[in-house]
Amino acid sequence: MTFTEIADRVWVTRRPWFDVTTTVVGGERGLVVVDTHGSAAAGRALADDVRALGAGEVVAVVNTHWHFDHTFGNQAFRELRADLPIHAHEEAVAELERGAAAVQERYAADPADPHRDDVLATTVVVPDQTFSSARVLDLGDRALELVHPGRGHTAGDLVLRVPDADVLVAGDLVESSAPPSFGEDSWPMEWPLSLDIVLGLTTSASVVVPGHGPVVDREAVEEQRNQIGIVAETARDLASRGVPLADALDAAEWPWPREHLATAVARAYAHLPGSQRRLPLI
């Protein structure tokens, strides 16, 4: 796979498996790799492609959130350097520690999956550099900002900002190859507010790198924020009118197909305070 330079010393590659996007940012002190893909084998292939850039040595890794398609490749980069720092939000580390075994169990139960053996052969490497709100990585001639904007796709999302290049790496808070993924660990009621913070870190000229899919501009992030906001506020309205969760998907219009939103609506109902929910209508 090849990298595309989207700004000064900022390279992006899209991997076919899950259409995961990895970003590499260069500075005079070396390279920072953002997200390492879904297995040690996939991470090694990624590391080979980073090396082929000829832009320097990897000095740090950043995980935008805990999901295995963004973190299980950490092992490959630790094989390059045993003390390589891996950065993530503190909650992402806790989620990875809780969730990694279940991922491997799921792959173990599916012998037909072509990536099964690679996932099972992976040693999960948990990030060792954590923060709660914000952190700066010093690359000498440029600084990278890590910001936790709040809960959304997961509880431990972070975005990476390259101020001098006006690039923001958004992880799965933004997706452009498909509707955003509302998993069992998502926070749909808070996601729009987190994207408001993300938008505050951008300009009209910003290049935004999603966790999956091609790079986008600020306008695309605004559109996705508004669509997720519609999901959140529609769920709030339905719950406040006493519409049972079982009937909610069929009781309103949604910005994406209903089959994509079952978990989102269930999570929204669960996270609403009791004062905003009425007893189901009879």
Residue 167, domain CATH: 3.60.15.10
How many structural domains are present in the chain? 1
pLDDT of residue 28: 98
pLDDT of residue 178: 86
DSSP symbols for 12-75: EEEETGGGEEEEEEEETTEEEEE---SSHHHHHHHHHHHHHH-S--EEEEE-SSS-HHHHTTHH
Q: Considering the domain boundaries, does residue 146 fall inside one? A: yes
Q: Considering the domain boundaries, does residue 254 fall inside one? A: no
pLDDT of residue 281: 55
pLDDT of residue 240: 94
What's the pTM?
Answer: 0.96
Closest CA to 261 of 253, 243, 244: 253
Q: Considering the domain boundaries, does residue 260 fall inside one? A: no
Q: Considering the domain boundaries, does residue 277 fall inside one? A: no
pLDDT of residue 274: 74
Residues of the chain with pLDDT under 50: 282
Q: Considering the domain boundaries, does residue 250 fall inside one? A: no
Q: Considering the domain boundaries, does residue 278 fall inside one? A: no
Q: How far is CA 62 from the centre of its chain?
A: 11
Closest CA to 175 of 224, 123, 237: 224
> Residue 208 and residue 214: Cα distance in Å, rounded?
9
Per the structure, the complete domain to which residue 35 belongs is given by 4-223
Helix-strand-coil percent breakdown of the chain, rounded to 5? 40, 20, 40
Q: Considering the domain boundaries, does residue 181 fall inside one? A: yes
**What's the chain's Rg over C-alpha atoms?**
19
pLDDT of residue 276: 67
Give the three-state DSSP class for 218.
helix
